[in-house]
Amino acid sequence: MPVSIVLVLIVIVLLASIRIANQYERGVVFNLGRYSRTAGPGLYLLWPIIEWQRKVDLRTITASVEQQEAITKDNVPIKVNTVIWYRILDPVHAVIEVKDIANAVIQVSLTTLRTLLGQHTLDEILKAQDTIADLMQRSIDRVTEPWGVKVERVQMKNVEIPETMQRAMAQEAEALREKRARIIKAEAELEAAEQLRQAAERIMQNPAALELRRMQMITEVGAEQNTMTIVMMPSEFVEMARGIGAMAKKPHPDG
């Protein structure tokens, strides 16, 4: 065989062996069915026929978990949508330990979500979504860790409850708002009564303050442009008039 033909074949094989992996990719290379090496990023060779590879993306992947229906601890049927963020830390385990890593993570998320929803009441799910999401993240991460996958975050995107339960919750919220309003009104009336009591005590201690208050009331009435004028007499005059009236009503000794 001419040397030129051999050189051409070598060049063809080399060109066919060239592979390139991006910065966020790794190539898991198998040699005759056995794991050989992890290649990339950049340029590397993959020998034809005896070697093949599976490329793995190491970037964070966002996956929407299909709406899941479950029964809460207090027997309320709800539907929940969830989003998870995960990434592959070990490409070798992600290829060798599980066939379809994306589907495996989704299925684990579904079963974990059903389990956690059944362990909490509706109020807990609505009020502590972040806490439940953290529990879910840790539970999924424990399962996916042998696969070389790290679950970074889980978020409950939407929680749907039956319409009858929505109406009941709305009525409960309205009753609580009315209760708070009545309590606030009662507290305000109690505070006003206490202020009036203190004012009355101070006026009793200083009768001149009562006269000043009467004069202030006359000024306020006049400032409102009323057609009626109220004249308030000092309390001493009123007591004096009562005394004179009482004396006038007494029978004369001579009569």
Q: What is the pLDDT of residues 40-57, one digit of tens each?
A: 899 999 988 899 999 999
Give dist(CA 125, CA 241) in Å, integer. Answer: 76
Q: Which residues pair with 153 in a beta bridge?
A: 85
Instruction: Please compute the mean of the pLDDT values over residues 96-113 and round it to a whole number.
Output: 91
Give dist(CA 41, CA 27) in Å, integer. Answer: 8
- For residue 177, the SS3 value is helix
Q: What is the pLDDT of residues 183-216, one digit of tens each?
A: 888 888 888 888 877 777 776 666 666 666 666 6
Give the per-residue pLDDT at 236.
57
pTM listed for this prediction: 0.62
CATH 3.30.479.30 domain residues, the chain: 61-161
Please give the CATH superfamily to which domain 61-161 belongs.
Answer: Band 7 domain (3.30.479.30)
CA–CA–CA angle 73, 79, 83 (5° rounding): 110
Local confidence band at 10 (pLDDT 50, 70, 90 cut-offs): confident
Tokens of 58: 């190491």
Q: What is the pLDDT of residues 83-95, one digit of tens each?
A: 999 999 999 999 9
